Amino acid sequence: MNRFPRTCITILVSAFLLVACGGSDFSDLDSFMAEKRARPGGIIAPIPTFKAYEAFAYSATTLRSPFDRPIEVREIAQLQAISAVKPDNTRAKEFLEQFTFDSLRMVGTLERGEANWTLIKDPGGGVHRVAAGNFLGRHHGKIVEMTDTYVAVVEIVSDGTEDGWVERPRTIKLSGI
């Protein structure tokens, strides 16, 4: 149980190793550095020039998305016979109108006194209160009905003609059902 001899041996070995690492003979290092300094300096290539980014202006925002299902001609004829629909472009846009309809999720309902709201989650994770009459989605979608399990929305979409618009009913079901 005597630790003193073991500690002394460890200190002596460490001191011997430190003395062995010492020395002032750096001739090989000095000759290597002299050789490198004698070489001529290299030429650095100039930084490449980049073309300026040209912004693309997408002008088909009011047309039907190429990823949505085309509306059948019979439905268009029926809906046009009912009324001449046109979106109100002078109306101030609501926050949820910047997101696509399919990216929005219904996560619950909220009731306080006489007021009823539906909770909609945006793609960024934010949760928003909406009521009947609010707008959401990129196609002028107006909330027309709210229940505990779904939100009914009527969108106004282009029918493919220059000034033709039709109403398209859509729903957002409660997530998890």
β-bridge pairing 105-112 and 115-121: antiparallel
pLDDT in tens, 75-92: 555 555 555 778 888 999
Domains of the chain: 91-173 (2.30.30.830)
The dihedral sign for the CA sequence 16, 21, 24, 27: positive
The mean per-residue pLDDT over the stretch 39-65 comes to 81
* Predicted local confidence at residue 71, as pLDDT: 59
Residues 6+ apart with CB under 8 A from 171: 150, 151, 152, 153
- Residue 1 to residue 115: CA distance in whole angstroms: 82
- Residue 160 to residue 71: CA distance in whole angstroms: 9
pLDDT beyond 60 at 73: no
> Strand 141-146's sheet: what is its strand order?
135-136, 141-146, 150-158, 165-173
Q: What is the mean pLDDT of the chain?
A: 83
pLDDT in tens, 93-133: 999 999 999 999 999 999 988 889 999 999 999 999 999 99
Collapsing DSSP states into helix, strand and coil, what is residue 34?
helix
